[in-house]
Structure 1
Amino acid sequence: MNYLNKLNPIEVAHHFVNKYFPSCLGALLAGSVVRNEATETSDLDIVIFEKSLSSSYRESLKEYDWDIEVFVHNLTSYKHFFESDYERARPSLPRMVSEGIILKDEGVIEVIKKEANDLLDKGPKKWSEETIRIKRYFITDTLKDFIGSSKRVEELFIANTLAELVSEFVLRTNRKWIGSSKWIIRSLKQNNEDFAECFVEAFDVFYKTGEKKRIIEIVDEVLQPFGGRLFEGFSLGKNVDF
């Protein structure tokens, strides 16, 4: 059954909440269906706020042919997840709360949405100079492996690692949220669509033809404002005795 033939996601979400969480204080529908990006394999992300819940949990269920991911919190547990997402610079729960369509509200959603929006607007912590230096070193080290490798099977996985390291570097040095999987390219596009297009094209060319030149150029362009590649003189965890 494809997405177009399924029951309306908002109707299903309402039914789900009424059936499984009739006493909840608030419920939100988030995810790809809210952003009009749903595909045949999309699920429904539903965030629930229960007053009497002792601890938060996540569960996967199926209702009316929809796969449903439910994230259940009490009125304080979500704050820990907000803080954790802020620390790792991946605002999964704040983003779901911010974009979520209200399914039920007993007077709690407005405050929680404001907290989520304030956190998203704030952006992640600024990287320290030492963190930037460490990241430069690991990007340099991976780039060297990429340039020097002549084994296709190894090059593929080195390229994957390099793409993740460089995308993280670009986003964090611009005080932008990062992501994983599909959220990597979404985050890059939100930051700079032209760069994102060049970034994808460079890796696409490599995966299709094995040509590394453009990837190497992009990595050097990204590192240049911060001092370029870093290898000589780098140390980590060294104790100096006087």
Structure 2
Amino acid sequence: MDVARQLVLEPYPDARAAWLGGSVARGDASTTSDLDITVLLDGPPAPMRKSLEYGGWPVELFVHTEKSLRHFADKDQARRQPTMMRLVGESVVLLDTDGSGVRLKEEYLAEVAAGPRPLSGDELDLLRYTITNLLDDLSDASGDVRLAIASVLWQDAARLLLTGAGRWSGTGKGLLREVSAYDAALAAALMDGVRAEDDRLVVAVDHILAEYGGRLFAGFELGATI
């Protein structure tokens, strides 16, 4: 906390607010974790992010105005991955000179709790179609080709599982963390299936698809905007 606060005050003495988010704030930091620090300014400078080392810590620094915070939070909503909202909402307030630190933390925390917007019909059909094609590709694949397909398949299936249930999605380890929090047994089945050279992944993915109408190929149609 002291290192993070000092890092904010040295280059940004006029900062309105600052938050420490990420794994350190959550309490599950590892030996390689960094400090995720978001700083609120009236502006300028323009919004930016910077990676640096300070006080023995690797640091990811995000500098924003209220307008740019809202812009990136809206992008989070569109992709159903609440990165910016969590950096502020699920944080420790480092600095709050005008009440905006607590106010924005509460606003974004409420948005995280509300969850993402539901899948549209077209989005659902596209996910089912994409997963169906990956399952077909997996059926006669082996070795490295199978592993490459499986690594994409489990992630698309996990996104369908989460967004269909009104839960936030993620990428990489963040996606696995979200699935494990929602259904630990199914998350384990997906990971076992990726590693195994048998049909365990197919069974797990078909189980997810069954909740949304099963596999989709014949009859799939999606218009394009040019």
Partner of 1:6: none
Report which of the two structures shows the higher radius of gyration computed on alpha carbons: 1
Alpha-carbon separation, structure 1, partners of 2:221 and 2:16: 52
Is 1:233 aligned to residue 219 of structure 2? Answer: yes
Partner of 2:23: 32
RMSD: 1.5
Deviations 1:10-68 (A, max 9, x none): 12112211212111011111111112222221111000001132531101111122111
Helix, strand or coil at the partner of 1:196: helix
TM-score normalised to the size of structure 1? 0.87
Is 1:118 aligned to residue 110 of structure 2? Answer: yes
Partner of 1:19: 10
Alpha-carbon separation, structure 2, partners of 1:88 and 1:15: 33
Amino acid at match of 1:127: L
Deviations 1:111-147 (A, max 9, x none): 2112202211221111122221121111000011011
Alpha-carbon separation, structure 2, partners of 1:55 and 1:191: 37
Alpha-carbon separation, structure 2, partners of 1:11 and 1:110: 19
Alpha-carbon separation, structure 2, partners of 1:153 and 1:195: 24
Amino acid at match of 1:236: L
| Residues 195, 73 of structure 1: alpha-carbon distance in 2 compared, 3 angstrom cutoff | same
Is 1:180 aligned to residue 171 of structure 2? Answer: yes
Helix, strand or coil at the partner of 2:8: helix
Partner of 1:46: 37
Partner of 1:167: 158
Alpha-carbon separation, structure 2, partners of 1:161 and 1:44: 30
> After the TM superposition, which parts of structure 1 deviate over 6 Å for at least 4 consecutive aligned residues?
none
Q: How does 1:68-217 map to 2 (within 5 A)?
A: 68-106=59-97, 107-150=99-142, 152-204=143-195, 206=196, 210-211=197-198, 213-217=199-203
Q: CA deviation at 1:190?
A: 2.1
Alpha-carbon separation, structure 2, partners of 1:80 and 1:122: 18
Q: CA deviation at 1:174?
A: 0.5
Helix, strand or coil at the partner of 1:104: strand
Tell me, which stretches of 5 or more residues in structure 2 are unaligned? Answer: none
Amino acid at match of 1:31: G
Is 1:63 aligned to residue 22 of structure 2? Answer: no
Alpha-carbon separation, structure 1, partners of 2:51 and 2:113: 30
Q: CA deviation at 1:102?
A: 1.1
Tell me, which stretches of 5 or more residues in structure 1 are unaligned? Answer: 1-9
Helix, strand or coil at the partner of 1:16: helix
Alpha carbons 2:85, 2:109 under 8 Å: kept: yes
Alpha carbons 1:60, 1:70 under 8 Å: kept: yes
Alpha-carbon separation, structure 1, partners of 2:107 and 2:29: 26
Helix, strand or coil at the partner of 1:20: coil
Amino acid at match of 1:220: D
Alpha carbons 1:53, 1:73 under 8 Å: kept: no
Amino acid at match of 2:66: L
Amino acid at match of 2:103: V
Alpha-carbon separation, structure 1, partners of 2:193 and 2:214: 19
Helix, strand or coil at the partner of 1:27: strand
Helix, strand or coil at the partner of 2:10: helix
Alpha-carbon separation, structure 2, partners of 1:202 and 1:159: 8
